[in-house]
Amino acid sequence: MNGIAWILATHSDSYGPTGNVAVGLAERAAELTQYRELEILDTLAPTYAAAGRFERATTTAQAALSLASAAKLDRRANEIRRRLKLYKQGKTLSRTLARYADRNENFVLVLGTD
């Protein structure tokens, strides 16, 4: 559920209805984990952004950042900080990744955990 939500939220065509599907999946995953899992919150934030809900994306990313910092996952915390800046600017992760990929022919996105 979380992985599908991430893919939908970060796909370049995810704004609008697809973003809303991603939100539904990610919110359900967050509910099942009582909003306490870093991975889930880190997916929920870009799904909110993909659906145009940037205030929710920001607060959710801040919660994920708190969890990452508490767990001393510095690299992950820095990644979340970068995404948090996007949400505060009203930008989606999917559109930012698409623009970056278009400019960089050797672009490779690697997703994983610390």
pLDDT in tens, 19-40: 678 889 999 999 999 999 999 9
Q: Is residue 114 part of a domain?
A: no
pLDDT at 28: 95
Q: Is residue 55 part of a domain?
A: yes
Of the two residues 25 and 9, the one the predictor is more confident about is: 25
Q: Is there a contact between 26 and 4 (Cβ–Cβ < 8 Å)?
A: no
Q: In this structure, what CATH number is given to the domain that contains residue 40?
A: 1.25.40
pLDDT at 22: 83
pTM for this entry: 0.76
Tokens for 7, please give them: 């893919």
Of the two residues 47 and 105, the one the predictor is more confident about is: 47
Burial grade of 70 (CB within 10 A; 0-12, 13-18, 19 or more): exposed
Q: Is residue 110 part of a domain?
A: no
Domain count, the chain: 1
Kindly report the average pLDDT of the chain as a whole number.
80
Q: Is residue 108 part of a domain?
A: no
Residues spanned by the domain of 59: 2-103
